[in-house]
Amino acid sequence: MVVDRLARPGQERSFVPRLRRTFRNLTSRLRLGLFGRTFLLLAALMLVSLGAWLQVFFSMELGPRANQMAQRVITAVNITRTALIYSHNDERSKLLLDLATNEGIQVYPREVTDFAEALPDDDYWQRVAQHIRTRFGPETQIAWGVNQVPGFWVSFQIEKDLYWLVFEREQIGLTGGIEWLGWGATALLLSLVGAAVSVGFVNRPLSRLARAAQVLSRGETPAALPEQGPLEIRDLNASFNRMAKDLRQAEADRELMLAGISHDLRTPLARMRLEIELSGVSEDARQAIDEDLGQIDHSIGQLMEYARPAGTLPQLATDISAVL
């Protein structure tokens, strides 16, 4: 016993991480995005809360509902007994017909040979029977069916005559499970629609931001994000727009700087080539110097190519077939 008590707190503490791991594994296998994960979580929470609410409602409804239906049966038995006592013999058949037609209540003579079926082992029906016996006495018989005729049968007595009063089960029983299932499904559907709309309000700006970030990562210029909606979304979009603007300005400054560097480096090289052509050096010396200048120019071109901004297409096309 001591070991079990000591183990329970650890088991309770380990339940939450285990549930988190299970949810994480499920969402990773399904490859759900932010919208799918949030919607799934809200749907699970709503299912659990709806089930708990229905359980509490049924538990709280059981006692008052049983008392109300028992009072209804008691009132019907008293009225029927009084009507039969004070009515003439020739009018009793009309009275019984009116009860069966208008109220769904039927009266049968009770025989000793009647086969009565016991009530089901259900808390609600046992409570109804207990209230009825408390009012009429413990000798009152209550049956789920008599002689294989279904219904809610209650016995009563007028002097020495014994009778059965029969109610339809639907009049006395709780609200049907199918009806509650329909109401629950409707409430759950409306809740899920509301959850989807609520999650969409958060997911759409984030999806728009993710697409803009992908465009920016390819070196392209994304469209400005709308600075509207909730405060957090407005601040996030405004910060992203400022960042994209700063990056575009930095790229423009770098391109201008690279153009200036290329001009400043290649202009002296062109001047040196012109001076070599006009000088009286030998052909071999001129060719060697020209090769050195070409190598320097090639290195400058490689440096400019390396420093070109990401996403910028090269100015010259390359024939892959010729290279291979």
Give 196: exposed, middle or buried? Use CB within 10 Å, 0-12, 13-18, 19+: middle
The angle, 0 to 180 degrees and rounded to 10, between the axes of the packed helices 34-86 and 123-136 is 20
pLDDT for the residue numbered 42: 76
3-class secondary-structure state, position 41: helix
Q: Are 220 and 309 in contact (CB under 8 A)?
A: no
pLDDT digits (tens, 9 = 90+) for 278-300: 776 777 777 787 787 788 877 77
Q: Taking residues 219-242, what's their average pLDDT?
A: 84
Give 236: exposed, middle or buried? Use CB within 10 Å, 0-12, 13-18, 19+: middle
Mean pLDDT of the chain: 76
Ranges of each domain in the chain? 218-312
| Cβ neighbour number for residue 304 with a 10 Å cutoff | 16
Q: Taking residues 252-263, what's their average pLDDT?
A: 78
Instruction: Give the least confident one: 8-12, 143-147, 183-187.
Output: 8-12
Cross-strand pairs, 142? 154
pLDDT for the residue numbered 255: 78
Q: Does domain 218-312 have CATH number 1.10.287.130?
A: yes
pLDDT for the residue numbered 28: 59
Spell out a b/e string for 146-168, using b for 16 or more CB atoms within 10 Å of the CB, else e.
beeeebbbbbbeeeeebbbbbbe
**What single DSSP character describes residue 104?**
-
Give 29: exposed, middle or buried? Use CB within 10 Å, 0-12, 13-18, 19+: exposed
pLDDT for the residue numbered 12: 44
Tokens of 290: 């020209």
pLDDT for the residue numbered 311: 52
Q: How many residues in total does the chain contain?
A: 324
Q: Is the pLDDT of residue 18 over 80?
A: no
Band the pLDDT of 80: cuts 50, 70, 90. Answer: confident
Nearest of 29, 163, 153 to residue 84 by alpha carbon? 163
The torsion of the CA quartet 120, 123, 124, 128, rounded to 10 degrees, works out to 80
Alpha carbons 101 and 110: distance in angstroms, whole number = 21
pLDDT for the residue numbered 52: 75
Tokens of 180: 């509650």
Predicted TM-score of the model (pTM): 0.44
pLDDT for the residue numbered 6: 39
Long-range contacts of 243-250 (CB under 8 A, 24+ apart): 244/212, 244/216, 247/216, 248/221
pLDDT for the residue numbered 11: 47
Tell me what percent of the residues of the chain surpass a pLDDT of 70: 74
pLDDT for the residue numbered 14: 60
Instruction: Give the least confident one: 54-68, 156-170, 215-229, 241-255.
Output: 54-68
pLDDT digits (tens, 9 = 90+) for 19-50: 566 656 655 555 666 666 777 777 777 777 77
